[in-house]
Structures are given as C-alpha cells and as structure tokens.
Structure 1
Amino acid sequence: MLSNLLNVFKISDLRNKLLFVVAMVTVYRIGVAIRVPGVDPFAIEQLRASADQQGALGFLNLFSGGAFESFSIFALGIMPYITASIIMQVLGVVIPKLEQLQQEGAVGQRKITQYTRYVTIGLATLQATGLTFIFGTGNGQAFFGSGNVPSVVLLPDGLWPRAYLIIPTLVAGTAVLMWLGEMISQRGIGNGMSMIIFASVVASLPGGFWGILQLNKTFWFVAMIILTLAIIVAVVFVELGQRRIPVQFAKRVVGRRMMGGQNTYIPLKVNQAGIIPIIFASSILLLPVILSNVLGSGEGWRGDVASLVDEYIVNPSNVVYITLFALMIVAFAYFYNSIAFDPVRQADQLRRQGGFIPGIRPGPQTEKYLGKAVNRITLPGAVFIAIIAILPYILLLAADVSTFGFAGTSVLISVGVALELMRQIDSQLTLRNYEGFLS
C-alpha cells in the first residue's frame, strides 16, 4: 500500500492534480471560517448550539461543512447546485428539448450545465432570502420547530439595510463553491461537487464523536465507532456490488472486415441512486414544517397541526419520524432509478447497435427484462441506504444523545466519494503501468 501511494507522487501529472484538489478544498475550508458581515456574534453561538441537534438544521449544517452554524459566506453550501442538478435531471424526462440536449453528447451537456448554473443562482437567491428573513427576525423557532431551535436573532438592529449585504454575500458564496467544484472537475481528479460534499461531511464527523464523549457516554462512544466501522464495510461491499446483464453483439461485415461479435455486459449497481433518496426524503419532510409555519400556532386546529408537526415530523427522537424517513427513502430510490435508467431507451440503444441479451428477444421483451432487473435490484439497495440512514438515529435514541447528527449519511457519502476517487487514481496508475490500490 505504501509503495502504491508513493507511485501516485511519482507521476507529475497525477501529483499536480491531487495537489490542486487539496488547494481548492483548503480554499473552501477557509471560506467556511469567514462569517457573513453584520450578524450578531452572540446569536451565532446560539445558532451553533441549535445546529448540533438532529433535524432540519443538522441536515443543512451537514452539507455546508459547519458553515451554516457559523453563518459564514458558504452557509448555503453546495445544496442549491445539487437541487438544481436533480431538477434538471427530472425535467429532462418531461421536457423534450432537454431530453434532446441530453442525447447530444458534450455540446448538449455544456448547455445543460449552463442552465443548471442559472437554476442554482435562482435557488440560492431564494434560500438566502428565506434564511435571512427567518434568522434575521428570530423566526427560526417557528419555522424549524419549537423543539429544536431557539429564537435566534442574527440582526438585532433590524433586518434592513443589512439584508441587502447578507443576501448577495450568501449567493456569491454558492457561486464561488460552484466554480470551485467545476475547477476541481476540470483541472483536478474526481468530481468537484462530490469532493466539496466529501470535505463537508468529513469535517463534521470528529465533532460528532467528540460531542458524545463530552457527555460521558463512553459506552455509546465506543458503540458509535463500531457502528461507523461496520457501516464503512457494508457501504464498500454494496457500492462495489453489481448485477451484470450479459450482452452480445452480432457479427457484421463492413467492407472486408468482420465487425462485432464481442461479449460485454450492462453493469447495474446495487445502489444506483446513492444519497439522492436521503436528500429527497429530508427535503420533503420539511414541507409540513413550512405548512405549519404558514398556518401559525394559535388556538384551535392550527395549534393542533403545529403540535403534531413538532412532535412527529421534525423530531428525530420519535419512532414515527424514523419510520416515515425510512419509507420515503425507499420510495424515492425507486423514483430516482426510474428516471436515471430507462429500460425503453436502453433496449432501443442495444437494438440499434446490433446487441441483444442472450435468450431474450430484442424489443419489448428486452424492455420488460431490463425493467424487471432494475426493480429487483433497487429494493435491496433502497433498503440498505434506509437502514444506513436510520441506524444512528436508533442508537442515539437508545443512548439518549442528540448531538451526533447524520452519521450514517456522512459515512455513506464519504465512502462513496472515496471509492470513486480511488477508481480514478487506479485508472491513472494502470494507464502508466503502475499497480493500483484496488487491483
């Protein structure tokens, strides 16, 4: 392993790419420490204490790498870009123009990337305005549930005119993060957005373990370490798992040459959706919170609705929340896979290329076979990520601790991104006749 690691630094091109990634991540972590101008530092301490809890604030703080709890210039994190990418992918199914761009290769992908940037800036503007109004006026308690968030007033001297400075600053921070991610993808190694998320979630893990240890929960501290190691092993096993659909290509004569005839396969990952179902489920669970905030928390049925939401929807210590979260993860895994993998398009592409699945007739039978295979392999992958997401909740519920946050999701993201980075480094080493890490 040590010799393989030294081989990475022997190749100047690969070494420069890795150093560039480290430099960009360093810039990102420095930006996390730069606070938005004009906010009350004492209120930031209250916000930091609230963000250590599980729930909506913990979810926002996880994907911002701790920037949200200090209300730094990167407080929105890369989530607006992720949301915009998911929106564009979903719209590609229902809008023929976008679907056509997806099939045009690099040229179409550049246009889609440009549209995604515009959507990202729009979403970042909406989120920055909403967060500034919520925490600038002390409405965080009403918006995120009274059980988790105190009345944090970041702008004690009034919302305006400081909001004119804070909102553009938060939007500019998201734009800079988007630029950093694209630079990593172009000049570094690995996917830039994934590397930023990786840096965010890894930065939050030590603080989570330290929070448990500070509460003198030594037994549960050891239990969380064992659970985290078990999750790492399970994630590696599942992430590398594939269902390989065999494909044969018919031989054909082109000029004087015999073309085709080779055997290959269609790799179907057990967990094709990654962490996207978790993001979807967490976002949807925030909708009842928004609804209860609109209705208010007065007397009568409005107060009952607000109490119901506070008790069951935004309370990670409740069994109802855990159950809903798990079921929604499974449902969104099926939804995302139905968008990401189209059996009709895949079967049509095979037919055009002269390929076929042994024992399966081209056309509708191939479509039916691929659809059945995807549905069958989605279930274990969806159940797996649901278990990974709720296991820390269950353990922390038993330990009566609420400061660790999204441990399962953090490990799932970290291991997935690390494996993809290792694959790309392996391919670079193998290309230059070096032995890789995974070989």
Structure 2
Amino acid sequence: MGFLHNFEGILTNLPEVEKPKYALTFNDKLKWTALMLVTYFILSETALYGLNPATIDLFANLRAVLAGSFGSIITLGIGPIVTGSIILQILVGGKLIDLDLSDPHDQAIFQGTQKALAILFTIFEAVVMVLMGALAPDPALAAVHGQLMMIMLLVVQLTVGGILILFMDEVVSKWGFGSGIGLFIVAGVSSSITIGAFNPFPAAVGATEPAGLIPKFIYMVSKGRGDITTLIPIAGTLVVFAIVVYFETMRVEIPLTYGRFRGARGRYPLKFIYASNIPVIFASILMANVQLWATLLDKINYPLLGTFVAGRPINGLAFYMRRPQPIGQAEFSIVHALIYTVILLILSAMFSKFWVETASMDSKTVAKQLQDGGMHIPGFRGDIRIIEKVLNKYIPPLTIVGGLVVGLLAAFADILGALGGGMGVLLTVGIVYQMYEQMAKDQLMEIHPMLKGILG
C-alpha cells in the first residue's frame, strides 16, 4: 500500500462533475463545449476587484498558452492544473509514488490527487503572485480597507477563478469535445492571433499606428514607408500552421491480423508526433513556474534564477527560458535564440517520454491492449512479447523524435515572432485537429451506431 492510499477517503471523495448517465449526442457535446467556451470568455472579462491599475503582466509572453486573461478572475489560467499534473506524472513515472494506473482503484486515487494538487497550487500561486507584487492591490483601496484585507480579497478571487477553470475543464472532458485545457488554450491563442493581426486601434494613447499587423502595414504603405518585414509574424504563423497539420497527418502503420476472424487484416496507426502536444504544454508551464520562482527570489534579493528589471529577466536561467525577441527586432540575440531552442528541445523530449510512460502509451501497455483485442503480428503467434518487440522498434523513437519536432517547431515559431507565440500556435493547431477528429468520429458513430463497437 502506497503513501496516497492513507488519504484515499479524502482523495476519492473530492467534489467532481458527474459523468453523464446516458450516451451524449453530437449536439449535446457541442452545446456543453460552446457553453464552457462562452463562460470562459465571460470570466476572462471579469476584472479582479482591487487590482493596482499600474500592474505589469510578468507572464505576457506565455499568457496565451496559460489560457489566462491578465487582470481577470482567471489570471492563473490552466497553470495550477498542469503544474500539479506535471509533478504527479513525474512522481508516478519515477516510481516515487506507488500507483498502478491500470487498476481502477488506484486510478481513482490518482485523479483525486491530481485535483487536490491543482487546488493547492491554485491557492499557492494566488498567494505568491499577490505577495510578491505581480498582482498588487490598488493603493487607494488599500488605504481605505487596509492592505491585508485587499491582499486577502485578491487571493480569494484568484483562487475562485482557478477552481472554476478546474471544474470547467472537467465539464468539457466529460460532457463535451476534447478537454477544457485544450479548449481554453485555443480560445486564448485564437484571441491573441486575431487581435495581433487585425486590431485597428493604436497600442497606446497618442500613437497613430494601428496595433494589428495588417492594419499597421496598410497604414505604413499609405504613408509611403511600407515595410514587408511587418508581416513576418503572420507569415511565420501560417507556415507553422501548415507544417503542424502535415505532421499531424503522418502515421506509421503496423500490420495486424485479427485472430478471431481468419484472414482479416488491419493496420495499427502510430502518430508521428506520438505524444501529441502534451510535451509543449508541460514545457510552457515549467517555464512559467521558473519565471514565477525567479521573480520571487529576485524580490527577496536572492536572484539565483535571474535578475529582473521592469518585470523582465535580464540574465540567468529565467532570461534564457523566456521567449526571445523575434528575428528582425533590434533586441534579437542569436545566442538567446539558440539556448532557448536547446532548452525547449530537451524539455519537449523529456516530457514526451514521461507522458508516454505514465499515460499507458508505452510498448508494453499497447501490446497488451492489442492482444486483449485478439490481434497479433502477421506470421507470428499471438505472443505479447512478439507484439511488444515490434512496437519497441517504433514507439520509443517516435516518442523522442516527435517531442524534438514539436519543440523545434515551437522555437522556430517563437523566433519568427508568430502571433500567439510559437507554443501557442503549435498547441492550437494540434488541439483543433484532434478536436476535429473526435467530432468527426462522434458524428459518424451517431449516424452509424454499429460502428461504435469498432471505433471504440
């Protein structure tokens, strides 16, 4: 019995969104997904009461990926949820916590622990961000109600927003399409891309140039000083979109024979980006946590991770883990870009391996699933060791290579200054493509119910 089993009574009885008691139709799932999306946008416009108007967003470069709206009740976004998940995945994957995820009993404990960690990190991040001044109270209100009261009020609002995101994610996962985390990332990045490309209003008071790149380019052309490099971020965004869609469609197909039906053959597809976009989500949250801790340490005069000036790191690990200035900008540094790329490649490959091992996607687990389904490799007996040996030729390499590819694409997009950020664009394309596949599958099964047994 593991350590977490001692808290089973608490972990398995945390509040949760009830699973549907009936098969949801395509329209039902669409309705719940749309409802959560609308709720997300409403929350993103619900401002934190008592926040200092002069507060600077320290995580602006990761804001779209964090799926948070700065200054709103959901400023923390998905950060606490994914941070808790990363830590738990590492502890379980490294066998530091004894849980068998193939056992429904242990799986329930795992899910309860994941939720408990998400809530704890929501409270922790809210407290840290307010106390270190990243979300400082309004001095005028603090003078009236007291500094401590305003700090507590901000922490409570952030905590409520973080917990709402947690349960909204659960609603989408159980009642809608895909996951709430993915949906909120797409919402944040899409909003960032749309505003960055088409915003016709100036970025600051007194400015004349539109903030959106397309209106800005048109404005500059009309003034006789058009510069085509203005459109590089848009071109970079489109190029990354096309490359990611191409890689999402790539498959390695393993031939299989169905033992229950003599002569029946099929193929088991393995995605080229085997761990999907999970490594990039984990990498982005880790980078955000490094920024958070670096800011906190710098605030108490222990700049172990970097020194900050005007809310931006100027050296140390925090500096190199921050998105570099795009190519063509005066502050662009090739050294910064290269180190950032190497860090992103290492993190993506590492998290890809961790995810595959802890999400039942490794060769041994997949081989067991295929054998249980009555399938085996043509020309061999239905021995699970044979299936595992064949899968070992593909799954481990695809895991690492796929992780490296998504890391390289994210870094490439960041260096080009892609709208929504490199990670944001990469995640959005992958999430939308997967959501489209799930929606198409669900619609097909609704039209032809007999296919449910085949497609799962």
Please state which band the TM-score falls in when normalised by the shorter chain: 0.7 to 0.9
Give 2:408's match in structure 1, choosing from 382, 387, 394: 387
Q: Does 1:207 align with 2:195?
A: yes
Structure 1 contact 80–123 (Cα < 8 Å) conserved: yes
Rounded Cα–Cα distance in structure 1 between residues aligned with 2:137 and 2:268 = 53
CA 1:266–1:109: 2 relative to 1, 3 Å: farther
Task: State the identity %.
Answer: 24
For residues 302 and 205 of structure 1, the distance between their equivalents in structure 2, rounded to whole angstroms, comes to: 30
Which amino acid in 1 is paired with 2:61? G
Question: Is 2:346 the counterpart of 1:343?
Answer: no
Per-residue deviation, residues 97-132 of structure 1 (Å, max 9, x unmatched): 532xx3245x76555433322221011111111111
Task: Output the amino acid matched with 1:324.
Answer: I
Q: Which residue of 2 aligns with 1:8?
A: none
Deviation at 1:405, TM superposition (A): 6.4
In structure 2, distance between residues paired with 1:288 and 1:184: 29
Q: Deviations over 1:143-180 (max 9, x none)?
A: xxxxxxxxx74443474122222212211111112222
Larger CA deviation: 290-299 vs 416-425? 290-299
**Cα drift, residue 95 of structure 1:** 6.3
Amino acid at match of 2:428: S
User: More helix by proportion, 1 or 2?
Assistant: 1
Could you tell me how far apart the structure 2 residues matched to 1:177 and 1:104 are? 28
Q: 1:26 aligns with which of 20, 38, 48?
A: 38
**Shift in Å at residue 293 of structure 1?**
5.5
Among candidates 54, 58, 61, match of residue 61 of structure 2 = 58
Residue 244 of structure 1 pairs with residue 253 of structure 2: yes
Residue aligning to 2:79? 79
Change (3 A) 1:14 1:226: same
Change in CA separation of 1:58 and 1:298 when aligned onto 2, cut-off 3 Å = closer
8 Å CA contact 1:297, 1:303 repeated in 2? no
Select which of 324, 333, 342 maps to 1:316: 324
Q: Structure 1 unaligned segments of length 5 or more: list them.
A: 1-11, 141-151, 252-258, 397-403, 435-439
Is 1:118 matched up with 2:116? yes
The residue that corresponds to 1:290 in the other structure is: 293
Q: Deviations over 1:242-293 (max 9, x none)?
A: 2122222435xxxxxxx67643443321112233322333444454873685
The 2-side partners of 1:310 and 1:173 are apart by: 27
In 2, Cα distance between equivalents of 1:193 and 1:279: 10
Call closer, same or farther: CA 1:176–1:218 in 2, change over 3 Å. farther
* C-alpha separation in 1, matches of 2:390 and 2:446: 40
Look up the match of 2:233: 224
Once the two structures are superposed, the pairs formed by residues 25-174 of structure 1 within 5 Å of their partners are 25-41=37-53, 43-44=54-55, 47=56, 50=57, 56-59=59-62, 61-65=63-67, 67-68=69-70, 71-93=71-93, 94=95, 98-99=99-100, 102-104=101-103, 109-135=107-133, 140=134, 153-156=136-139, 157=142, 159-174=147-162
Give the deviation of 1:218 after TM superposition: 4.8
Mapped to 1, the partners of 2:402 and 2:426 lie a distance apart of: 12
What is the distance in 1 between the residues matched to 2:407 and 2:38?
32
Task: Compute the displacement of 1:91 (Å).
Answer: 4.1
Distance 1:225 1:351, change over 3 A: same
Matches of 1:185 and 1:314, distance apart in 2: 31
Q: Would the aligned equivalents of 1:333 and 1:378 in 2 still touch at CA under 8 Å?
A: yes
Distance 1:380 1:124, change over 3 A: same
Shift of 1:308: 3.6
Judge which range, 27-36 or 410-419, deviates more.
410-419
TM-score normalised by structure 2 residue count: 0.71
Aligned-residue offset at 1:433: 4.1
Distance 1:95 1:313 in 2: 28
Letter in 2 for 1:205: I
Q: What SS does structure 2 have at the residue aligned with 1:72?
A: coil
The Cα shift of 1:200 comes to 1.9
- Paired residues of 1:322 and 1:393 also in contact (CA < 8 A): no
**Post-superposition CA distance 1:48-83 (Å, at most 9, x none):** xx45xxxx4421x21354512xx2111111222233
* Residue pair 2:78, 2:165 contacting (<8 A) in 1 also: yes
1:119 maps to amino acid:
L
- Give the 3 Å change call, closer, same or farther, for CA 180–338 of structure 1 in structure 2: closer
Within 5 Å, which residues of 2 pair with 1:266-277? 266-277=268-279
2 CA distance for matches of 1:321 and 1:30? Answer: 35
Q: Distance in 2 between matches of 1:387 and 1:299?
A: 29
Provide closer, same or farther for how the CA distance between residues 263 and 37 of structure 1 changes in structure 2, counting only shifts above 3 A. Answer: same
Change (3 A) 1:302 1:417: closer
Q: 1:357 matched to which residue of 2?
A: 377
DSSP 3-state at the match of 2:51: coil
RMSD (Å), alpha carbons: 3.7
Are 2:362 and 1:326 aligned?
A: no
- Tell me the secondary structure at the aligned position of residue 99 of structure 2: helix
- The question of whether the paired residues in 1 share the 8 Å contact of 2:363 and 2:392 is answered with yes
CA–CA distance in structure 1, aligned partners of residues 171 and 355 of structure 2: 27
Amino acid at match of 2:394: A
What is the CA distance between 1:203 and its match in structure 2?
1.5
Shift of 1:19: 3.5
